[in-house]
Structure formats: structure tokens, C-alpha cells
């Protein structure tokens, strides 16, 4: 059995055109197990006009789990016959959204590697992203293991 593949396309239009990005990225989608992307990226890659259509198109490409980060609207995911929606997890007022997507991905993958359910992984992703946006900078608000343990224990996560 091979290793699982997670992928965040992180499309940057200063590096290539949307058309070139879509063509290149569609080629690798069949090898992806966990696709984590923004709503705009999901719509672009699928050519769909709305999110549920994009999720279906992406899952139909053989991707086991598709997770769409939606900022303040939380996240939505599909895979294995289930659709999961998770509310955003702000740890305070939003000060800076830089790094939120990466924090979401880190929290999500942390849980998936521990064997957590799809929904639990998405919840941890939104929680981690919520910490980052409550701080200035792209990594300064990343929660640590103590924050995580406090949060999982039911206590409010500790703000730094």
C-alpha cells in the first residue's frame, strides 16, 4: 500500500494563467487522496458554476476527500459518500488572514495522520485557522500542542 497524497494547488496567477494552471492541475488530480483548496480554485478546476457541483466533479475524478476552505464561511468537504460542513473557528477578532489556509491544512492533516474522521479533521483545520487569523503574521498565531490538548479536552484553547 502506498502513501496517501494530499495536495493544495495554491494557484498563483502571477506565475501562470488560470487556463494553464487548470490544464496542468487536472492531470494530477487522479493521484490525489486529499485535495485542499479554496472555493475559487474548486470552481476553476471543475469548471462548475457553484460549489456543490464543483465538489461532485472533483470527487468524480477519483479524489477520496475534497476539502474547500471558505474563510469566514468555514469549510465544506465531500468524500466517501459524505458531505461535511464546518463553521469557521475564530479564536478572536480577525486581524490578519495570511497563513489561515496553511494552518487549516496543517490541522486537517495532523488529524488525518492520527486516524481521525473526515469531520474531525475538518473541525481541527478550522480551529487552527481561527487561531492564525486572530494574530498578525502568517505563523505567529499557530496553536501548539498544549493549545490543541486544551481544546480537545473541552476547555477553551489558550491564546498566546
Give me the residue spans of the domains in the chain. Answer: 1-80, 88-160
CA dist 82 and 134 (Å) reads 31
How much is the pLDDT for 58?
97
Catalytic residue selected from 102, 144, 147, 159: 102
How much is the pLDDT for 95?
86
8 part of the active site: no
Instruction: Tell if the pTM clears 0.85, that is, is over it.
Output: yes
Which one has a higher pLDDT value, 159 or 136?
136
Residue with cell 496553536: 143
Please check the confidence at residue 111 and state whether its pLDDT lies above 70: yes
Please check the confidence at residue 131 and state whether its pLDDT lies above 50: yes
* Cα-based distances in Å from 154 to 46, 92, 118, 157: 38, 17, 20, 9
Amino acid at each position: 500500500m502506498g502513501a496517501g497524497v494530499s495536495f493544495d494547488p495554491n494557484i498563483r496567477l502571477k506565475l501562470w494563467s488560470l487556463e494553464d494552471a487548470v490544464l496542468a492541475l487536472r492531470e494530477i488530480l487522479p493521484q490525489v487522496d486529499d485535495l485542499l483548496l479554496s472555493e475559487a480554485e474548486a470552481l476553476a478546476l471543475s469548471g462548475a458554476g457553484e460549489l456543490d457541483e464543483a465538489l461532485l466533479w472533483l470527487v468524480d475524478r477519483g479524489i477520496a476527500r475534497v476539502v474547500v476552505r471558505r474563510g469566514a464561511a468555514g469549510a465544506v468537504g465531500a468524500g466517501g459518500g459524505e458531505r461535511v460542513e464546518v463553521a469557521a473557528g475564530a479564536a478572536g477578532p480577525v486581524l490578519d488572514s495570511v497563513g489561515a489556509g496553511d494552518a487549516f491544512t496543517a490541522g486537517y492533516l495532523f488529524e488525518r495522520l492520527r486516524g481521525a474522521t473526515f469531520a474531525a479533521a475538518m473541525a481541527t483545520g478550522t480551529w487552527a485557522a481561527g487561531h492564525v487569523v486572530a494574530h498578525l503574521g502568517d505563523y505567529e498565531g499557530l496553536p501548539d500542542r498544549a493549545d490543541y490538548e486544551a481544546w480537545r479536552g473541552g476547555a477553551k484553547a489558550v491564546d498566546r
